[in-house]
Amino acid sequence: MKIFVYGSGAWGTALAMLLCGNGHDVTLWTHDPEKAAAMVKSRKNPALAGAVLPPELNVTSDPAGAGEAELVLFASPSNILRRTARTAAAHIRPGTVLVSAAKGIEPGTDLRMSQIIQDEVGKDCPVAVLSGPSHAEEVSRRMATGCVAACGDRTVAELVQRTFMNDMFRVYVNQDVVGVELCGAVKNVIALGCGVIDGLSLGDNAKALFMTRAMAEIAKLCQRAGGQRSTCSGLAGMGDLIVTCLSPHSRNRQAGLLIGRGAPVALALREVGAVVEGYYAAASVSELGKKLGVELPICQSVYGVLYEDQDPEDMLHRLMKRDRRSEFDYNWDKV
């Protein structure tokens, strides 16, 4: 299959390498001609340290190559995805399968990444989502990974499953696009908060409490937005939350760690040296929660630290002082 990958960051590069290994004809696009030339010459990408690009992987700065592709993969950061999709739209043929590997919610519109792609490209192109606990560094080294291919059309989801799956990259199909995408966006916010907790040395108990109750928030948000609560217990939900909150590879956790240790937010974001998706998602999730009438105290606390200059050390204390409540919505008369 001919595949065109928009986005030459770590994730786009790792997926391009994976697809090459699966025997596909893959082209990786970067907007920067100098970067494309350097990658062709060195067979390396600074965004994915230690990885050697396979000789059969094509690298280009010309977006027109997407016109020959049967499948187009979008792996750009969420804050530039619309711009990338708009660039791609002029070249993609009608009916081409589109796959979003980006995670986030667009500020102002509250649109998920697949909706942005559909909005910009149109052309009766089916859009699927690839998501799950999958650090690019490990995928590029062929370490065991599991993801979800989500689409309302099962035939398309299974096509994506076949395209990406191999003996070290396992893919499950899922029809809940809303739930999969919201899980992928909100977990970045929670990972930032977990980094703050680690930076403040508040302990494993606090982090477990934070993550577990955050998952309850994600489930409420997903359900109110039209997704399924069950998705939150799967790879796109709990799986991705675990890896993003706990892994040293996680840029969101790294940023939170620096903030917890006293770094100003702007400095922490610069120090990480790559896009910290949770920073943008915190504002979007806060906005979406208010729009849907869903109480999101944990996400709102992280938002307060990032955007309202609230003291990171007070974040957990404010949450601990909230009113008493039941863990689940029991009907006590029937227990």
Residuewise pLDDT in 10s, the chain (335 residues) = 999 999 999 999 999 999 999 999 999 999 999 999 999 999 999 999 999 999 999 999 999 999 999 999 999 999 999 999 999 999 999 999 999 999 999 989 999 999 999 999 988 999 999 999 999 999 999 999 999 999 999 999 999 999 999 999 999 999 999 999 999 999 999 999 999 999 999 999 999 999 999 999 999 999 999 999 999 999 999 999 999 999 988 999 999 999 999 999 999 999 998 889 999 999 999 999 999 999 999 999 999 999 999 999 989 889 999 999 888 876 666 65
| Bridge pairing between strands 71-74 and 97-100 | parallel
Catalytic residue numbers, as ranges:
187
Q: Kindly list the structural domains of the chain, giving each domain's residue range(s) and its CATH number in brackets, ordered by start.
A: 2-175 (3.40.50.720), 178-320 (1.10.1040.10)
Contacts 24+ apart (CB under 8 A), 246-251: 246/194, 247/135, 249/135, 249/136, 249/137, 249/138, 250/135, 250/191, 250/195, 251/275, 251/276, 251/277
Residue 327's contacts (CB-CB under 8 Å, 6 or more residues apart) are none
Contact in structure between 175 and 283 (CB atoms under 8 Å)? no
* Alpha helices, H only, the chain: 10-21, 33-42, 81-89, 113-121, 136-140, 154-164, 177-199, 204-225, 240-246, 251-260, 265-272, 277-292, 297-307, 312-320
Task: Tell me the HSE value of 261 on the side-chain side, using a 13 A CA sphere.
Answer: 12
